[in-house]
Amino acid sequence: MAVEITMPQLSDTMDAGKILAWNKKEGDVVQRGDILAEVETDKANLEIESFHNGVLLKIVVPVDGSAAVGELIAVIGEAGESVGASSPSKAAPQPPADVQTASTPPTPTPTASVNTAVKTAAPLADNSATPAPSTGRLKASPLAKKIAAERGINLAVVQGSGPDGRIVKRDVIDQGSITPQSAPSLPTPSSVQQSSQANAATDSTSALSSTRPSASKPGEATSGGALIPFSKMRQTIARRMQQSVNEAPHFYVTTSILMDNAVHLRKILKERPGYENTSVNHFIIKAAAYGIVAEPRVNYAVRDDQFVFQPEGINIGIITAIEDGLLIPVLKNVDTMALQDV
């Protein structure tokens, strides 16, 4: 009996997906575990895995087409079976991807109180708080695992750009193009800040311009240029940025800080077990948390234009630029975390 394949919910905020590519064509044999298609979501490009054996009888949503979560995108059945002869049965719900994302953007933190935080760097090694134990399971899509196996790439060294650090096809391909001589180093805090500000400005401008009505058709030249489709990820970035501007008071303070003592402390700590991966970023994140403890009002947000909201904990987002977008991993309760746990 034919089975309907519907658009799965690949993240907790996904309401629709765009088909980027079909890995199978009509008439192809499909085995359980095969990758049917690649889908663009509001978080990343992910794959749709088949949970049924049979033949791909019909593709309902073509490449570049979009479908809401739960809508029919394809039909799988037995060879020679007519799709129109009988109504296909509903497939069991596709299990959602293993993701966990923040529903609201992190409140930007000022740099005004970093001086005080750096002076208290000595007690950073407090181990009073320990993070939740890691499951040790590597999060990667089936297609990413297949490509990694074919190219001899160790997934343990691949940085995932999907939801909750999930490794997707693009990450494996990018890793394969990196040689030991050209492997990128971790970004410095200043470069991350400059890059994130530049990307944020670009995303905000793109978001505002894309919402204005236009008489031009998609892809049609406009004033000597061309209209580029707005990706789901950039739509989400624009929406989150606008929400942040509306709810979180913004102000910026610039100061100079002597980092000699912090750099010296980092050099000492890196020789101790558990601190091998300590970077300058760790110190700045902890310093920002100490600053918020000293001045908790900088962590306030506005709610419904009537209330001031003070979060229970101190959560800090690290803006990270990726190709055609941004990711913001959020560290929870940074003020209670030991330095090596950041």
Per-position pLDDT tens, the chain of length 342: 789 999 998 877 788 889 999 999 999 999 998 999 999 887 778 888 899 999 999 999 999 899 998 999 999 998 888 876 444 444 444 444 443 433 444 444 444 443 443 344 434 434 333 333 444 567 778 778 888 888 888 887 888 877 677 788 878 887 776 544 334 444 444 444 554 454 544 554 444 444 444 545 555 555 678 887 777 777 888 888 788 777 776 777 888 889 899 899 999 988 888 888 888 989 999 999 999 999 888 888 777 777 888 888 899 988 887 777 777 888 899 988 888 788
| Residues 3-90, CATH architecture | Beta Barrel (2.40)
Residue 270: CB partners within 8 Å, gap ≥ 6? 276, 278
Say if CB 33 and CB 142 are below 8 A apart. Answer: yes
Question: Which among 45, 67, 16 has a CA at the least distance from the CA of 143?
Answer: 45
CATH 2.40.50.100 domain position(s) in the chain: 3-90
Q: Is 75 helix (H, G, I), strand (E, B) or coil?
A: strand
Tokens representing residue 157 in the block: 């060294």
pLDDT of residue 285: 92
- Listed in sequence order, the DSSP H helices in the chain are 114-119, 142-151, 169-176, 189-210, 232-247, 260-269, 280-294
Centroid of chain to Cα 29: 33
Cα angle: 167, vertex 50, 91; to 5 degrees: 125
* Domain boundaries for CATH 3.30.559.10 within the chain: 114-130+183-207+231-341
Q: Which of 333, 326, 328 is nearest to 299 (CA)?
A: 333
Q: For residues 196 and 163, what is the distance between their CA atoms, to the nearest angstrom?
A: 19
Q: Are strands 45-49 and 66-68 parallel, antiparallel or unpaired?
A: unpaired
Which homologous superfamily is 114-130+183-207+231-341 in? Chloramphenicol acetyltransferase-like domain (3.30.559.10)
End-to-end CA distance of the chain: 52
pTM: 0.37
What pLDDT is stored for residue 62 in this prediction? 93
- 291 burial (CB, 10 Å; 0-12 / 13-18 / 19+) is buried
The tens digit of pLDDT for each residue in 286-341 reads 999 999 999 888 888 777 777 888 888 899 988 887 777 777 888 899 988 888 78
Helix, strand, or coil here: 150?
Answer: helix
Minimal CA–CA distance to 172: which of 61, 41, 47, 84? 47
Encoded tokens for 154: 């160790």
